[in-house]
């Protein structure tokens, strides 16, 4: 499969992390059919990159939490397929970032880890496996003012973080409930977990972001991520339309659902909890 | 003059080799040629609205270093902070063929590349000293 990303690194010049973002983008480009968007030229003359940014999955690479590249993507209303933060990646890989702008072996090790993951990921991103998941469900509805909160009546389990799981055989789809999507309002970005990664119950399973907040998807189950809903990369608003149907987030091969289930709510329990939350907190 | 700070602001440099060289020449100013006097500003942060960066570029002399004749650094700086004190265009020093060549990783820089960096850094240094003399 020919890899083809649009890469938007922050290219920061005053910090090591910014220089690493640039090196990651160059390495991915050298090993794939991807293209780099120069953040400065993009601001000065956006016609140069608009087409690339719209046609290819956009990977945004921020050096630090100032998130200049993400801010630029947001200002240009670009849809982001994946966000990478070099400082976070360094922590996750036990690599300490230093103050020098000259990159050392450890920095290039981090460059290789991130770039290799990106190059592998595209091969792994698949829309869904062969398992049959229903396309429609029946819902119980709770209304509050103009807001409608749906909860599917059968087959779903929920955690206290308003994430659901729907199990078929040894596979499951997970996602967020209506309570989350209504609270976030218009969802603009979806950052999936890496396909192939192991997730613990209550571990992070990607993030979704609106103009209001970033929401960490908390996995209701443990297992291995086997697919992500790639439609969300370009159309995260599907979560707003229906988070249980076209807005599902990812598929997981379950490792111990019987144990995980003990800490989950069924429909009756979650519906009561959700109603209470809506009455008490939802604005 | 010892307390004088001069900003050297490089383009981001993803489009061409000239950009890579402008980044490295700027770094050379910062770390070797005029340490303590050179301040570099992160151009992407500056453009994203970094208040400190914009204040600096308004209050202190700034030399922009551009990899090619698109002059992103100069254009962007002048848009937000007014006229710059001087400019360096790598394509004028090394020629368009070199400046517009493909960008490279810093780990793949050859001795020939480093000579180019030195050459550009020397020009920045000359302009830097000229500004410092007049202050």
Residue B13 lies in a domain: yes
Question: Does B76 reach chain A within 8 Å, measured CB to CB?
Answer: yes
- pLDDT of A113 > 70? The answer is yes
- Number of folded domains in chain B? 1
**Average pLDDT for residues A100-108, to the nearest whole number?**
89
The CATH number of the domain holding residue B70 is: 3.40.50
CA atoms of A38 and A41, how far apart (whole Å) = 5
Burial of B60 (0-12, 13-18, 19+ CB in 10 A): middle
Per-chain mean pLDDT for chain A: 88
Residue B67 scores a pLDDT above 90: yes
d(CA A209, CA A236): 9
If you average pLDDT over residues A62-68, what whole number do you get?
Answer: 88
Chosen for mutation from B7, B10, B12, B39 (greatest number of chain A CBs closer than 10 Å) is: B12
Q: A122 pLDDT exceeds 60?
A: no
Percent of chain B with pLDDT over 70: 99
User: Is residue A1 scored above 50 in pLDDT?
Assistant: no
Dihedral sign (CA A254, A258, A260, A264) = positive
DSSP three-state, residue A72: helix
Per the structure, the complete domain to which residue B74 belongs is given by 6-133
Cross-chain residue pair B107–A103, CB shorter than 8 Å: yes
Q: What is the pLDDT of residue A126?
A: 45
Mean pLDDT of chain B: 90
Phi first, then psi, for residue B6 (nearest 5°) are: -125, 130
HSE-up of residue A265 (Cα within 13 Å, Cβ side): 19
CB A189 within 8 A of CB A221: no
Q: Look at residue A127 and tell me whether its pLDDT is greater than 50.
A: no
Mutate to test the interface with A, among B9, B14, B22, B76 (most CBs of A within 10 A): B14
In angstroms, the separation between the Cα of residue B12 and the nearest Cα of chain A is 6
pLDDT (average), residues A139-158? 92
pLDDT digits (tens, 9 = 90+) for A247-277: 999 999 999 999 999 999 999 999 999 999 9
Residue B1, in any domain of the structure: no
- CB contacts under 8 A, B 92-121 vs A, are 103-107
Residue B67 lies in a domain: yes
More confident residue, A170 or A275: A275
Residue B72 touches partner A, C-beta closer than 8 Å = yes
Asked if the Cβ–Cβ distance from B44 to A10 is below 8 Å, we say yes
- Candidates B29, B45, B46, B68, partner chain A, best to mutate (most A CBs within 10 A): B45
Contacts with A45 from chain B: Cβ below 8 Å: 70
Quick one: which H or E segment has residue A163? strand A163-168
B90 within 8 A of B68, measured Cβ to Cβ? yes
A109 CB within 8 Å of a chain B CB: no
B34 in a domain, yes or no?
Answer: yes
Does position A131 have pLDDT exceeding 70, yes or no? no
Dihedral pair phi/psi, residue A256, rounded to 5°: -160, 70
Least confident range of A118-122, B15-19, B38-42, B85-89: A118-122
- In sequence order, which ranges of A152-282 are alpha helices (DSSP H)? 178-184, 231-234, 238-241, 257-261, 267-281
What are the DSSP E strand ranges found in chain B? 6-10, 38-40, 62-66, 86-89
CB–CB contact B44 A39 (8 Å): yes
Q: Does A19 touch chain B (CB under 8 A)?
A: yes
β-strands A163-168, A187-191 pairing: unpaired
Q: Is the minimum CB–CB distance between B12 and chain A shorter than 8 Å?
A: yes
Q: What angle do CA A263, A266, A271 make, to 5 degrees?
A: 115
* Nearest CB to A14 within list B42, B75, B107: B42
Of the candidates B43, B50, B76, the beta carbon closest to that of A13 is on: B43
Residues A205-255 have pLDDT tens digits of 999 998 888 999 999 999 999 889 988 988 899 999 999 999 999 999 999
How far is Cα B37 from Cα B129, in angstroms, rounded to an integer?
11
The answer, yes or no, to whether residue A61 has pLDDT greater than 90, is yes
Cβ proximity of B8 and B39 under 8 Å = yes
pLDDT band at A2 (very low <50, low <70, confident <90, very high): low
Helix (H) or strand (E) holding A252: strand A250-254
CB of A45 within 8 Å of a chain B CB? The answer is yes
Q: Is B42 on the interface with A (CB under 8 A)?
A: yes
Mark yes or no for CB contact A38/B75 under 8 Å. no
- For helices B17-28 and B111-133, give the axis angle rounded to 10 degrees: 60
Strand partners, A147: A144
As a whole number of Å, the CA-based R_g of chain A is 20
Residues of chain B found within 8 Å of residue A71, distances taken between Cβ atoms:
48-49
Q: For residue B48, give the nearest of A26, A71, A103 by CB distance.
A: A71
CB proximity B87 to A under 8 Å: no
Q: B44-61: per-residue pLDDT in tens?
A: 888 888 788 888 888 899
pLDDT given for residue B53 in this prediction: 83
């Amino acid at each position: 499969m020919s890899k083809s990303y649009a890469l938007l690194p922050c290219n920061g010049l005053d910090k090591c992390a910014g220089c690493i973002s640039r090196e990651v983008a160059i390495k991915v480009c050298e090993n794939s059919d991807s293209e780099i968007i120069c953040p400065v030229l993009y601001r000065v003359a956006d016609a140069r990159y608009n087409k690339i940014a719209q046609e290819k999955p956009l990977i945004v690479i921020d050096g630090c939490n100032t998130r200049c590249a993400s801010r630029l993507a947001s200002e240009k209303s670009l849809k982001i397929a994946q966000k990478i933060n070099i400082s976070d990646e360094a922590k996750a890989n036990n690599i300490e970032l230093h103050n020098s702008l000259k990159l050392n072996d450890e920095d290039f090790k981090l460059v290789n880890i991130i770039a290799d993951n990106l190059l592998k990921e595209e091969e792994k991103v698949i829309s869904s496996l062969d398992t049959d998941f229903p396309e429609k469900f029946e819902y119980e509805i709770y209304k509050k003012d103009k807001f409608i909160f749906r909860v599917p009546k059968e087959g779903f389990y929920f955690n206290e973080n308003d994430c659901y799981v729907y199990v078929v055989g040894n596979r499951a789809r997970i996602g967020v409930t209506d309570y989350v999507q209504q609270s976030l309002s218009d969802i603009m970005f979806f950052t999936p977990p890496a396909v192939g990664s192991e997730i613990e119950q209550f571990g992070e399973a990607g993030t979704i972001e609106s103009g209001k907040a970033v929401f960490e998807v908390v996995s209701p189950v443990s297992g291995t991520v086997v697919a992500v809903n790639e439609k969300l990369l370009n159309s995260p608003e599907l979560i707003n339309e229906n988070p249980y149907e076209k807005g599902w987030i990812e598929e997981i091969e379950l490792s111990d659902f019987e144990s995980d289930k003990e800490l989950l709510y069924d429909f009756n329990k979650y519906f009561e909890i959700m109603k209470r939350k809506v009455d008490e907190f939802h604005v | 003059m010892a307390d004088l700070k001069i900003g050297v602001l490089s383009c981001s440099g993803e489009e061409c080799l000239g950009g890579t060289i402008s980044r490295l020449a700027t770094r050379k100013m910062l770390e070797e040629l005029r340490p303590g006097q050179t301040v570099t500003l992160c151009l992407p942060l500056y453009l994203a609205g970094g208040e400190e960066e914009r204040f600096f570029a308004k209050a202190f002399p700034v030399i922009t270093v551009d990899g090619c004749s698109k002059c992103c650094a100069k254009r962007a700086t002048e848009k937000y902070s007014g006229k710059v004190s001087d400019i360096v265009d790598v394509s004028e020093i090394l020629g368009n063929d070199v400046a517009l060549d493909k960008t490279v990783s810093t780990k793949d820089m050859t001795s020939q590349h480093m000579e180019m960096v030195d050459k550009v850094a020397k020009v920045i240094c000359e302009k830097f000293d000229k500004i410092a003399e007049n202050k």
